[in-house]
Structure 1
Amino acid sequence: MASEIKWIKIVTDIFDDEKILLIESLPEADTIIVVWFKLLTLAGKQNYGGVLMMNDRVHYTDEMLSTLFRRPLNTVRAALQTFEQFGMIEIINNAITIPNWEKHQSVESMERVREQARKRVAKHREKQKTLANGNVTCNVTVTHSNALDKEEEIDKEEDIYNICPIKEIIEYLNSATGKSYRYQSNSNKKIIQARWNEGYKLDDFKKVIDNMVANWTGTEWEKYLQPSTLFRESNFDKYLNMVPRAPKPAQTNVPAWALEEIEQDKSEEAMQRMQALKAKMLAKEKGEPVPEWAEKVLASKQTAEGQAKLADIYAELEAMENGET
């Protein structure tokens, strides 16, 4: 257990809070509110930054909370579900967390407690060294103990902060697909957490989403842009390494014969003018202004042969638009 906090901060108008008012309208409202305060006090007692952990390795389950709070399991589960719906808790990496924990604690006071704990540990270690009276064996033991303590502290920090960003992954998917998948869904959390536990990171999830959005958007497979397909164990690594499909070129009403004319003439001048011509025709088709660069290219001086060729192309395009061909 981390350094225990002997108090939590509760604002005096907590019962005017919108979420508490809504809870009071529910069946067993009083019991649910009691469970909420018990959660807060337990979080303060264990002092893992709002994460409900028994120790560095074990997080509290609903069954454990039911026993500790002396409340029926179904009641505790209903309370946790209500808190999660209202955003009062989040279930991250299967651990119950209080996202706004700083509201219930004075960060400065918590730091003072941690500092006092560090001083007590340092004093204890110094006492061990003094008692050793220069005994090398004892000193080695103390040094080894200190090293183990540091390793345990590092492991604890990794356990707490290496939390799967399920919400960020689902929000990225929704942004890319225009869908509204819920990060609170147990099935979504389970499948994302499974891949995270295999060592995949946030950038891997984003790449899978980007790859498959590029490949499936606008096809019959678009309906499979969903967590259960993208993040499935048998699909994830394959999708991660898939090459995104190149976007289709913009459609233009420049006919094939005109493109062939330019294809036969590979001079830089001809290529520039063809690009300008395509830009002008595409803009005209969309009812948009012709790009300034295209106007400049088409208005610039040209060789006699090039002028004749481009004039023929213009004439035939105009005739086609006027229905003369």
Structure 2
Amino acid sequence: MAQRRMFSKRITNSARFIKMPLSSQALYFHLGLHADDDGVVEAFPIMRQVGAVEDDLRILVTKGFVVVLNDDLVTYITNWNENNKIRADRKVDSIYKKLLLQMVPEANVKLPKPRADTGKVTGRPMDNQWTAQDRLGKDRLGKDSNIYSSSKDEPHIDLKEFKEIISYLNEKAGTKYRASGTKTQRLIKARFNNGFNIEDFKKVIDTKIAEWGGTDMAKYLRPETLFGTKFESYLNQEVKVSKTNKGGNSYGGLEF
């Protein structure tokens, strides 16, 4: 695993980043410094080392800078590939790669390639990222630790629930996506694992159709965009009406 990390000024100089408390900004840098080559890091020991508190991580989650993958606070840095350009022949897969792809299916995970000098793929990391993946403590951050992720007991999702969500999207947006698509189902399942429900999906669809319908952004009315890592921010945003949707029209199930 690489021993040097970088940060994009486009991210750290943005108003969204600078408006955060300095403690949250500092935690972001420390998480980035300790992350593995896929941008995954065990946040809890880092928080203990630097004196960060729950709210510092919670703010990073709310602002979309990180995604917490499980109750042990294993955390993925969403802008990892913009911050760091790691050569494929030097890249070491995260020990949490399977968990990352389960919880964030749209994550752009680079595949390692054989090294030019040895012809072998780099082996597993032998530093502080090589830790047991078992649960390290149920209530390490108190009773509210599950605010970041759902229980490890994943909810059962029937095909009819996938169909209900995708049929709603197709009906409202005039699209023809399939509920049987593997990537689409992984995205929906990941959001269910985060504790969201069918009504949340419908609200996100209505909100983004109201905002993007009839504009150049309409092409992003797709599962990959709507049900990805920005799902919660879409769910909580105020309804914005696109200019082409003004004038008393009903679009996406919302009346204006």
Which is richer in helix? 1
- TM-score in same-fold range (> 0.5): no
Larger radius of gyration: 1
TM-score range with shorter-chain normalisation? Answer: 0.3 to 0.5
Answer 1 or 2: higher relative contact order, Cα 8 Å, separation at least 6.
2
- TM, length-normalised to structure 2: 0.40
